[in-house]
Structure 1
Amino acid sequence: MIIYIAVLVIGFIALIKGADWFVKGSSDIAKNLRIPSVIIGLTIVALGTSAPELAVSVAAAIQGANEISVSNVVGSNIFNLMVVLGICASIHPLEVDKKILKRDMPVSILATIVTLGFCVEYPLLQKIQLSRLRVTDEAGMIHRWLGVALIISFAIYLYLLICDARKNPIEEDDVQYLPIWKCLVLAIVGLVLIIGGGQAVVNGAREIARMAGMSETLIGLTIVAVGTSLPELVTSIVASQKGETGLAIGNAVGSNIFNLLLILGLSGTIHPMTVNLATIIDIIVLILSSIMTLIYARTSARINRPEGLSMVILYVIYVVYAILR
């Protein structure tokens, strides 16, 4: 137990330092290339911080551990919205870019709804006796064709982001930034620390959870999902503190789109995955969380402190429910 606690501490230190360097390197790359920081947040930073989810979900899919693979993606997305954005907004009100409101948040919600609609097997649900309905009952499947469709959707989305970045470069200024090669080194070293630290935290927390007798689904939804989302959390907090609110919210929203379209798509393409009723409920929770976040953001083009605090509280309630069910 002491060894696992030590691994947790080392992992957290690596996460914090790595996030600081990664944000600095990424933001300076954006400014050198005159790319808006929100685009960097939606692409490079989102992909980088989603690397742990990619590694865990794909590995789980190859090994046939469907519950961890799917619940990791769904749990991570809920965490990104309710905790990452919630804590960042509690620290500093998050100004939300209009393009995120009109394009990226709706894309995330629509993709989640479509995934839910196509993975649920309605005839299978009808066979389940309502009087004996259990959250562990099989309720659907993510087929290979759905996985391929998600990957294609991700490619189209990424292409649109690249086109937007080329059409809307930021204006030149007189501020001197680090040379491109130094920014790249800083970002890469930071990313390595983030991924390594995230894996250390996940492995340590997972072993401790197993010692406590937690189920695989619950571990995937809570410990693994939270652990693999720590890069998004730490990176967004550091970005918010540095005044890079566009990068912070772009990271969280972009990571959700990456997780759903790319990671879940790859996992489903590698190995078709069964979905139980508990996961269906969690996907519905994700949709409701996404809609609530969009409503918060649209009220005044930002998420303020009270709204951020309410998001964190609701997440705690949701985790308690997930543990008790």
Structure 2
Amino acid sequence: MDYILLLAGLAVIITGVNALVSGASSLAKKYGISDMVIGLTIVGFGTSAPELVINTMAAVKGSAGIAIGNVLGSNIANIFLILGIAALIFPLKIADSARRRDIPISFIAALVLGLLVNDVLVGTGPVNRMVRADGIILLFCMAAYLFYTFKSAKKEEFSEESHIPQPLWKSSLYIAAGLAGLFFGGQFFVDGAINIARDLGMSERVIGLTIVAVGTSLPELATSVVAAFKKKADIAVGNVVGSNIFNIFFILGTTSVISPLSFETEANFDVIMTIAASTLLFLTSYTFGRKTVDRIEGAVFLAIYIAYIIYLL
């Protein structure tokens, strides 16, 4: 029953995300907002909405292990699992903007998180936890990243002929239905995950790093795999790296502002894995000047992820 609750919750969340993005995108187009702005805000939020909803519900229910494990597990899976699979399908050429801006920022995001959650080590508190001040710092970093991206991205021309917006009532209905789906789907998913953790005798951290993380990364997996088959490497890599930045700065930032999160010392290993994933992706993109993640490197990424999961279990 708990597994059905988990799957049903994820299905409702994904359906809600699609409805929300559809309604919001149509509304944005209606008022002449460019594709670039929509991509960085509405679509960016849309792909990260499952993590946000599940994290918020987990935090409110006092399940910090699921909340933090979900973000760290998703970021690790995004690079080692998703890019590993995508590179096996077709070698991924990494765009200069991703190498010079997004991949380094994803590395910095993981470092910032490592500092914020280790209060005892850094000397900023008697216990390791993410408080509202930490969340505000992460949200400020998110705002700075978006501002920098807006400034460095090329402006796109808006053409009303390329898109026929939906009627206002229809867009509003999609948005309302999407928000309702996110709320109830999140409730189902988190309740199912907590019950499964208890039944299996596993910690909420491990459940968050595995079942929850992979579940919430399914949209990114689908997007990157389809992009790899279509030989659209920019989409495959950009989707993953952008999601990693959103997950730390926006998802954990918002979650810890809503409800402070306790941090288990054991989770530092997962923070290190997140940093290592960004580092390896950065180094791989510069290997021999090829700027490409080839099939061999994809296989290595996948092997690392499998070894990591075996270690957790």
TM-score above 0.5, yes or no: yes
Counterpart in the other structure of 1:131:
none
Partner of 1:79: 77
Q: Report what 1:100 is aligned to.
A: 98
| Corresponding residue of 2:46 | 48
1:301 aligns with 2:291: yes
In the alignment, is the contact (CA less than 8 A) between 2:69 and 2:208 conserved in 1?
A: yes
1:320 and 2:310 correspond = yes
- On the 8 A contact 1:236/1:247 being kept in 2, the answer is yes
Amino acid at match of 1:102: R
Q: CA RMSD in A?
A: 4.0
Spell out, residue by residue over 1:220-261, the C-alpha distance to the aligned partner (whole angstroms, 9 max, x if none).
Answer: 111111111111111221233234322221111111111100
- Find the partner of 2:89 among 88, 91, 103: 91
Residue 288 of structure 1 pairs with residue 276 of structure 2 = yes
Partner of 2:144: 156
| TM-score normalised by the chain length of structure 1 | 0.74
**Aligned-partner Cα distance in 2 for 1:318–1:87:** 16
Matched, 1:311 2:301: yes
Mapped contact 2:21–2:46 kept (Cα < 8 A): no
Q: CA deviation at 1:314?
A: 0.3
Change (3 A) 1:44 1:94: farther
The 3 A distance-change label for structure 1 pair 267 and 208 is closer
Q: Percent identity?
A: 38
CA positional deviation for 1:24 = 11
Amino acid at match of 1:82: F
Is there any run of 5+ residues in structure 2 with no aligned partner, and where? Answer: none
Residues 97, 34 of structure 1: alpha-carbon distance in 2 compared, 3 angstrom cutoff: farther
Q: For structure 1, list consecutive stretches of 5 or more residues without a partner in the other structure.
A: 126-137
8 Å CA contact retained: 2:40, 2:146? no
For this pair of structures, how many residues does the alignment match? Answer: 300
1:235 counterpart = 2:223:
yes
* SS of the residue 1:50 aligns to: helix
Could you tell me which amino acid in structure 2 is paired with residue 312 of structure 1? L
Contact 2:57 2:187 in 1 (8 A): no
Tell whether the 8 Å contact from 1:87 to 1:312 is kept in structure 2 after alignment: yes
| Partners of 2:93 and 2:291 in 1: CA distance | 6
Listed as ranges, the matches of 1:223-262 within 5 Å are 223-262=211-250
Output the amino acid matched with 1:240. A
CA distance in 2, matches of 1:52, 1:204: 15
Describe the SS at the equivalent of 1:64: coil
C-alpha contact (below 8 Å) 2:132/2:256 kept by paired residues: yes
Q: How does 1:1-325 map to 2 (within 5 A)?
A: 43-122=41-120, 140-165=128-153, 167-169=154-156, 179=164, 181=166, 210-299=198-287, 300-323=290-313
> Is this contact kept in 1: 2:35–2:158, CA < 8 A?
no
Give the Cα–Cα distance (whole angstroms) in 1 for the partners of residues 18 and 260 of structure 2.
38
Shift in CA distance, 155/62, structure 1 to aligned 2, threshold 3 Å:
same
C-alpha contact 2:14 2:50 (8 A) present in aligned 1? no
The separation in 2 between residues aligned to 1:170 and 1:306, in whole angstroms, is: 39
**Deviation for aligned residue 1:164:** 3.1
Cα pair 2:57 2:190 within 8 Å, conserved: no
**Once the 2 structures are TM-superposed, how far is the Cα of residue 98 of structure 1 from its aligned partner?**
0.5
SS of equivalent residue, structure 1 residue 261 = helix
CA deviation after TM superposition for structure 1 residue 82, in Å: 0.9
AA matched with 2:272: I
The code of the aligned residue for 1:244 comes to K
The answer on whether the counterparts of 1:206 and 1:223 sit within 8 Å (CA) in structure 2 is no
User: How many Å apart are 1:212 and its aligned residue?
Assistant: 3.1
The corresponding residue for 1:134 is: none
Check conservation: 2:20, 2:46, Cα contact below 8 A.
no
Task: Please report how far the alpha carbon of residue 45 of structure 1 lies from its aligned counterpart in structure 2 after TM superposition.
Answer: 3.6
Which range is displaced more, 214-223 or 241-250?
241-250
